[in-house]
Structure 1
Amino acid sequence: MGSLGQALLWLQLWALAQAAYKIWVSNTDFDTDTNWSQNRTPCAGDTIQFPADKMMSVLVRGSHAVADLLLPLDGELVLAPGAGFSAAPAPADLHSDCSPSSGVPVFFRNPDRFSWLDPHLWRSGDEAPGLFSVDAERVPCVHDDVVFPSNASFRVGLGPGASPVRVRSVSALGQTFTRDEDLAAFLASRAGRLRFHGPGELRVGSQACADPSGCECGSAETLPWVCAALLHPLGGRCPPAPCRDALRPEGQCCDLCGAVVSLTYDTAAFNLERYRARLRDTFLAQPQYRELQAAVSKVQRDGDTCVQVVLVESTPGTGGAAGQLGRALLADAEHGAALGVLSAVLQESGAPLESGSVEGQVSPGSRWGLGAGLAAAGLLALLGSALLLGYPGWLRWRPLEAESQLTREPEGFSNPTFNAATWEKQPPVHLSSLALNVDNSTCYFVNPLFAAETEA
Structure 2
Amino acid sequence: MKFQSNLMLLIFIVETASCFYKRWLPNTNFGTPLNWNAARVPCGNDQVIIPDDSPTIILNSNSTIGQLVLPLNGMFVLGKNNILSFSSSSNDPNCVNSGQTVEFNATYAREWVDPANWCLVDSIDGPCKNDIPLLDSERIPCISDDVIFPAGNSYFIDFGTNMELTINSMRFLGKTYSTNSFETFMTSEYGRKYFRSYRSDESRTRLNIKRRPCRDPASCECGNYKPAIFRKICEMHSPLCKRPQCKQPVRPTGHCCNICGAVIKSKFESGFNYETFVNQIKQEFLKNETGIELVVSRIDTSIQLTLMDPTGDRSGDVAMQIFRDIQTDIKRGSQKYIFSEVEIKISGDDKSKISTLPPSSSSSSSSSSPSSTSTNTKTSASVGTSTTSTSKMITKPTAKDHLTAFNSSSSTSSTAAHGLTKIGIIEIILGGLALQVLLIIVVILYRRGKLASFADHVRMNPIIINLQKRFVNQDSVPMEDLPNANFDNDGGFQNPMYGTSTHQSGKLDYLTNDSEIGGEASNERAFDNPLFASNQESLFEDASKISPALTMNPVYDPNELQDSTI
After TM superposition, the score normalised by the length of structure 2 is 0.55
Which position in structure 2 is the counterpart of 1:226? 233
Which position in structure 2 is the counterpart of 1:390? 372
Task: Tell me the alpha carbon deviations over residues 268-303 of structure 1, each in whole angstroms, 9 at most, x when there is no partner.
Answer: 1212232233334544342xx221211111125xxx
Residue 246 of structure 1 deviates from its aligned partner by 0.8
Residue 147 of structure 1 deviates from its aligned partner by 1.4
Indicate if the aligned counterparts of 2:296 and 2:306 stay in contact, CA closer than 8 A: yes
Cα distance in 2 between the residues matched to 1:205 and 1:86: 42
Which position in structure 1 is the counterpart of 2:133? 132
Structure number with bigger Rg: 2
Cα distance in 2 between the residues matched to 1:280 and 1:148: 33
Which position in structure 2 is the counterpart of 1:106? 102
SS at match of 1:193: helix
SS at match of 2:163: coil
Letter in 2 for 1:87: F
Letter in 2 for 1:224: R
Cα distance in 2 between the residues matched to 1:403 and 1:329: 13
Which position in structure 2 is the counterpart of 1:310? 306
Indicate if the aligned counterparts of 2:346 and 2:406 stay in contact, CA closer than 8 A: no
Indicate if the aligned counterparts of 1:45 and 1:66 stay in contact, CA closer than 8 A: yes
Question: In structure 1, which of residues 343, 350, 361 is the aligned counterpart of residue 348 of structure 2?
Answer: 350
Question: In structure 1, which of residues 328, 334, 337 is the aligned counterpart of residue 335 of structure 2?
Answer: 337
Which position in structure 1 is the counterpart of 2:207? 203
**Aligned pairs, number:** 346
Which position in structure 2 is the counterpart of 1:83? 82
Cα distance in 2 between the residues matched to 1:280 and 1:298: 17
Which position in structure 2 is the counterpart of 1:144? 145
The 3 A distance-change label for structure 1 pair 327 and 387 is: closer
What CA RMSD, in Å, does the superposition of the two structures yield over aligned residues?
3.4
Which position in structure 2 is the counterpart of 1:259? 262
The 3 A distance-change label for structure 1 pair 403 and 291 is: closer
Residue 339 of structure 1 deviates from its aligned partner by 2.6
Indicate if the aligned counterparts of 1:47 and 1:69 stay in contact, CA closer than 8 A: yes
Which position in structure 2 is the counterpart of 1:69? 68
SS at match of 2:372: coil
Residue 251 of structure 1 deviates from its aligned partner by 0.9
Which position in structure 2 is the counterpart of 1:216? 221
Question: In structure 2, which of residues 260, 273, 276 is the aligned counterpart of residue 274 of structure 1?
Answer: 276
Which position in structure 2 is the counterpart of 1:181? 180
Cα distance in 1 between the residues matched to 2:115 and 2:343: 28
Residue 130 of structure 1 deviates from its aligned partner by 6.3
Task: Tell me the alpha carbon deviations over residues 335-367 of structure 1, each in whole angstroms, 9 at most, x when there is no partner.
Answer: 462232334323221169xxxxxxxxxxxxxxx
The 3 A distance-change label for structure 1 pair 264 and 408 is: farther
Indicate if the aligned counterparts of 2:373 and 2:406 stay in contact, CA closer than 8 A: no
Residue 25 of structure 1 deviates from its aligned partner by 2.0
Cα distance in 1 between the residues matched to 2:17 and 2:188: 29
Cα distance in 2 between the residues matched to 1:201 and 1:172: 18
Which structure 2 residue ranges, 5 or more long, are not aligned?
1-13, 123-127, 199-203, 351-366, 377-381, 385-389, 391-398, 411-566
Indicate if the aligned counterparts of 1:269 and 1:339 stay in contact, CA closer than 8 A: no
Cα distance in 1 between the residues matched to 2:64 and 2:339: 64
Task: Tell me the alpha carbon deviations over residues 112-166 of structure 1, each in whole angstroms, 9 at most, x when there is no partner.
Answer: 241111101112235988642211111112232211112432221111x122322
Cα distance in 2 between the residues matched to 1:16 and 1:182: 25
Matches within 5 A, 1:367-446: 390-391=372-373, 399-402=399-402
Task: Tell me the alpha carbon deviations over residues 77-136 of structure 1, each in whole angstroms, 9 at most, x when there is no partner.
Answer: 333344221111244x87446122x54x21222242411111011122359886422111
Cα distance in 1 between the residues matched to 2:34 and 2:314: 37
Indicate if the aligned counterparts of 1:168 and 1:205 stay in contact, CA closer than 8 A: yes
SS at match of 1:391: helix
After TM superposition, the score normalised by the length of structure 1 is 0.67
Which position in structure 1 is the counterpart of 2:118? 122
The 3 A distance-change label for structure 1 pair 148 and 342 is: same
Indicate if the aligned counterparts of 2:28 and 2:156 stay in contact, CA closer than 8 A: yes
Cα distance in 2 between the residues matched to 1:184 and 1:16: 28
SS at match of 1:229: helix
The 3 A distance-change label for structure 1 pair 326 and 290 is: same
SS at match of 1:215: coil
SS at match of 2:302: strand
Question: In structure 2, which of residues 236, 240, 243 is the aligned counterpart of residue 240 of structure 1?
Answer: 243
Cα distance in 2 between the residues matched to 1:128 and 1:269: 31
The structure whose RCO (Cα within 8 Å, separation 6+) is larger is 1
Residue 322 of structure 1 deviates from its aligned partner by 0.9
Residue 400 of structure 1 deviates from its aligned partner by 2.1
SS at match of 2:325: helix
Cα distance in 2 between the residues matched to 1:28 and 1:67: 21
Question: In structure 2, which of residues 317, 321, 324 is the aligned counterpart of residue 324 of structure 1?
Answer: 317
SS at match of 1:328: helix
The 3 A distance-change label for structure 1 pair 326 and 387 is: closer
Cα distance in 1 between the residues matched to 2:215 and 2:406: 26
The 3 A distance-change label for structure 1 pair 409 and 320 is: closer
Indicate if the aligned counterparts of 1:21 and 1:145 stay in contact, CA closer than 8 A: yes
The 3 A distance-change label for structure 1 pair 404 and 310 is: closer
Cα distance in 1 between the residues matched to 2:279 and 2:158: 35
Indicate if the aligned counterparts of 2:249 and 2:408 stay in contact, CA closer than 8 A: no
The 3 A distance-change label for structure 1 pair 218 and 96 is: closer
Which position in structure 2 is the counterpart of 1:364? none
The 3 A distance-change label for structure 1 pair 17 and 37 is: farther
Residue 392 of structure 1 deviates from its aligned partner by 5.0
Which structure 1 residue ranges, 5 or more long, are not aligned?
1-13, 353-384, 411-456
Identical aligned residues as a percent: 26
